[in-house]
Each structure stands twice: as C-alpha cells, then as structure tokens.
Structure 1
C-alpha cells in the first residue's frame, strides 16, 4: 500500500516539484507596492492613498468587479522599462516557486488604448523573459491576448500592430469579460492566427456555459482551454476533453475569489482529474487573487484532501501541456520524477 505523506511533507513536495505555469496574466501579477513605485516614477495619480488602501479594495464579487480595478492598476504601465520590471518581478517569484516554464499572457489593448506603443509592451516583456532565462534558468514564452469585450475588428488591428514583433510571442489567447462575448465572436481573427502558425488558447467556461467551451474548441480550434471548470455540467464535453486530452488551465484561488467556487473544498478540480481530464493548476492574477502558483497548490490540496499522486499528475500535466519541444518536456519529467523520489513519494510516480 502506498504510504501517505504527512501534511508538512506534502506541502514541501508541492513547493519543490518542478511545474509549468500556463495561465498567468502578467498585468495581474502587478503587486500594489510596484504599482505605487511605477506611479511615482511615471507621475501617475492613483485614486488610492497608499498601498494598504489599494490592497483593501481587492474585494471582488465577480469577474467584472475585478476587471475594473485591474485596468486601473495597469494605468501605471507606460514605458518599456515598466513592462520589464513587472515581468522580472513575476519571474523571480516563479523561480522561487520552482516553475521551470511560464507561458505569460499579456493584454496589449489595455495599453495601446492609452497611447502606449505596442513595441514598448512586447519588448519590455520579452527582454525580461530572456534575461530571466539567462540569469535564473526559467523558460518563458509570451501569449498575446485579445480583450473579448472589445470588437473583433479591434482584435484584428491589434494583431496587425503586433506582427512586426511576431518572433517575440508564440500564440494568442482570449480574455476579459466572458459573459455575453462567446468565442465565435472572434472566429476570423483566430483563423488568421492559425494561418500564421500561432498557438491558440482561449478563456472559456469560467463564468460562461459549457457551450463556450465547445465553441472555443470547434470554432476557434484552440489547443488549450483556460479555466474550463463549467465543463462538468456537460457529460459529452467531459468525455471529449478526456478523450482528446485537451488541457484545462484551472486557477483555484481565482475561482474562489470571483465566487465561481466560493469554498475551495467544493472545487471540482479533483473530480475532473479523476475523470481523466488534463487539468493543471495556475495562479491567473496572483497579485489580486491572494496567491501565486504554490499557494494555489497548497490551499487547494489542504481544502480537498488530495495527495501526492494527484500532485504528480497535475505537475506532469502542466509540463505536458506546455508549448515546448518534446526533448525539454522529457528533461523536466525526469526532474519531476527525481523530486518525488527525493521526497519519498515514488509511489505517486507509479500511480501517475
């Protein structure tokens, strides 16, 4: 019989295991301290007296109430160095959480609408990712996201603006307000991106219905679904996701903060994992939702009672679902196995 790890041993394993983060909005990693530092540097007036006043405003009831304050925080980002500093701060944290690979979402329309040049956004993020790989060994890639509450025409314009820097991002995504903005609204721009050889992902099934997940798969032809937790309402969809091993980038603390699952103990990730779906754990907007990737693992496992076998499967899923070559995946998988042996959890490898 496999032996169960103590709570302390499991927590140590969750922290130490190599993992990929596939659902992180870089603007959502902007901590209040950095917001105020950038506001001072750029002489931007904020509607909050200090760091604590801003942090105390993080009381969200749904996705839209979060987005309102999220866009206000992004107003301090004006220059290439600001984007560099933001990404560098996130990647330093990711390294400390034993993230070996991060695929970072960024929202250029949030910035270009304020007059920030597209090149400032992409070059700042790209430079930080390259410096972090050189200095810390973390692998990193950028995914450009379209804001779904805006028109498809604006998304097409954004893609055109980004094309001179095509070599600096690997894919496109779809984020912002989900309800009332189904994936098919962006069918043409995703078809363009597919023709360009870009990887395709989209938020679907966080607050929106299972139909949005079907549309993301069939109309947009995405390779991964971001969130996807509402899939459990549709048995045929669950079977398809399991059969085709389409990764879901689930964000537990975000789901809790936005009242998708008000109680983490009721989160459906364990059931989806048990059903054979390729679910992963991610942090979404960690500065706003109370936790980076390791906090998401630790709090979810504490609330649901999952153990080492599930930890191994989730970490393995994240590495497998990343948009990197097979050789790098194999190397990370070997590191993962070595980590579990080192922590006395080799039974989990066999179970996985």
Structure 2
C-alpha cells in the first residue's frame, strides 16, 4: 500500500493482530472501577464522583500525572482487585486486536502500602491465565522499579521477586525520569540479567538522549520504552537502527503528558523511516484517552500512517517481544493474513 491509497479504517486497525509491550497495568484503572474498589475496600477517595475524578486528567507534565496515578491506585488491595483490574484491561484490549502483552507492574507502589508482592503477582497472574484460556492472549509480566525511590529498595524488590520467575519474565524502570538516570540502577540490572531476566527501561521520554545511551550501555536494555528524544541525536538514531533496538512508543501518552505539543509532531514515523524499529502502545490508557487500537487510529489520523506501516509496527511488536519463537511465528502469520 502507498500513501496515495485509502488509509486503513478504524475497524481494520482494531482487527490488526498486535502485541502491547508498553502497558502499565495500574494505568488501566478506569474511574468507574476506582470507585467500585474504593467502596468494596472502604477506602475514601478525595473525589465526589467519577466526573470529578476525570476532570483531574488534564496533566501539565509527567509528575502531575504520577501524583494522581499513585493516589488513585490506593484502592487496589486484594488479589481480587488486581485480577479484576487486569481482566477489564484484557477484555478491552482484546476488542482492539491484542494477541500478546508484556505488562508492567509497580510492586514498590503496593508494598509501600502494605500490599504483599505475592498478592499483586497472583491477582494479575490469575487474570492472565484466564485471558490465555478464554481470549487466546499470551502474556508476560515485567517488574518495574520506581527510579525515584532508593536503589536499595529496588534491590530488595528484585530479591523478593526472584522466587516468582514462573510469572516474571523481566524488569523495567519507570516513574519520574529527570534527575534519575539509568546509571543509578546498573547494579540491580546486572543482578536481574544474571538471573536470566529480560531487561527494558524507560528512557528518553522527558530525559535526554544520554539516558537512552545509558540504558543500552549500562543496563543492557533489550528495548527502550518511549525513546522519543532519540530523534534529537542523529548518531543515536543510527545506532538504534543498526542494532535493531525497538522503541515501545506511546503516542497519545506523549501528547497528554506534554512531552510533545501535538500528535502531528510525534517522531514515530520519522524514526521508522530512519530504520529504527518502533511499536505502538497505550502506556496508561485509562488516563491518556486510548487503548492500543485507539493509538493506531490516532497515528493514522495525525501522521498518515498507512496499512503497510501499521502492519510493520504490528510485526515489530511480535518480533521484539519476549514470546517463545513458536508463538511469535503463529502471531506473525496472523499479521500476514490481516487485510488492511
């Protein structure tokens, strides 16, 4: 398909088989579920209604979002809560073409509230098992360290999680980026790699291109989450392309957090044209106005993404996932059979 041919329809983009490699499960907490869980767990929310909570979704930057994000997740307390949160995400994303997900979770944000890490993992895991059986969605779980918390706490969190490598396939690095370079976590990541875990890292969302280099050189990151500021550094772009490093990009998130002014300025298509492997993801869809299919529709509208490009992004999401090779082959065949 070329740019002169009709763009793929909403329905076609929703039907496109895809993996989501940048999804924070806590960021799928829709306002209505937040109020349901608050009532069930007898936790008062500082908002009178769903509408009032939604009015706080006008973020000025990453930190303004994180303040609300951590406050709202206080309603998550039990295995049943985490399972219900995950089931609702999977049902919604399944309707938008999700076939594989490697989702992030933030254990430190829960253990700090007295919620055991096992409660979080087992609740999410139960929903993932149900989705594999009922929806045909394969999955993996990536433990994300909070980069604005002490490194020693990340190290303790990794130790606590090593007994659950039946569920956890890798580690990541998220939360407030500026002032917390990847270099701080070099030792923790070395431990994780030694244990056979995959490693990814948020870098270059608000932080400079140098953070992307550190994530690659010091952490051994296999994928870079976000990475939009790579576009500022031609040498880095060339390196990402030559080494086949995938960027798990989240277009609607970048606009809502004002790391770019408009979606038309998003570097996704320019990076793709430069040979960088890019994927399209939703990040925290309950807060940023769209799930994974919605993000594909948004980049079609704003950037003119074609069917060929959408297919390439979907293929890249499976090729750069940590799914077993046999599963990748199955999913890539589904992409090839897609009629965009």
TM-score range, shorter chain: over 0.9
Q: CA deviation at 1:293?
A: 0.6
Structure with the larger RCO, 1 or 2 (CA within 8 Å, 6+ apart): 2
Structure 2: how far apart are the matches of 1:324 and 1:252? 24
Alignment-derived partner of residue 102 in structure 2: 103
Alignment-derived partner of residue 198 in structure 2: 199
Q: CA deviation at 1:250?
A: 0.3
TM-score with structure 2 setting the length:
0.98
CA contact (8 A) 2:2 2:306 kept: no
Give the 3 Å change call, closer, same or farther, for CA 119–3 of structure 1 in structure 2.
Answer: closer
Matches within 5 A, 1:39-54: 39-54=38-53
Q: Secondary structure at the match of 1:170?
A: strand
Q: Cα RMSD between the aligned structures? A: 1.2
Alignment-derived partner of residue 320 in structure 1: 319
Alignment-derived partner of residue 130 in structure 1: 129
Give the 3 Å change call, closer, same or farther, for CA 188–334 of structure 1 in structure 2.
Answer: same
Unaligned runs of 5+ in 2: none
Alignment-derived partner of residue 73 in structure 1: 72
Structure 1: how far apart are the matches of 2:253 and 2:137? 24
Alignment-derived partner of residue 24 in structure 1: 23
Give the 3 Å change call, closer, same or farther, for CA 160–334 of structure 1 in structure 2.
Answer: same
Alignment-derived partner of residue 333 in structure 2: 334
Task: After superposition, give the CA deviation of every residue in 1:170-205 in whole Å (9 maximum; x if it has no partner).
Answer: 000000000000001001110000000000000000
TM-score with structure 1 setting the length:
0.95
Where do 4+ consecutive residues of structure 1 move more than 6 Å?
none
How many pairs were matched up?
340
Matches within 5 A, 1:164-243: 164-243=163-242
Q: CA deviation at 1:160?
A: 1.3
CA contact (8 A) 2:93 2:293 kept: no
Q: CA deviation at 1:326?
A: 1.8
Alignment-derived partner of residue 151 in structure 2: 152
Alignment-derived partner of residue 90 in structure 2: 91
The answer to whether residue 242 in structure 2 is matched with residue 253 in structure 1 is no
CA contact (8 A) 1:254 1:283 kept: yes
Q: CA deviation at 1:5?
A: 4.5
Q: CA deviation at 1:6?
A: 3.0
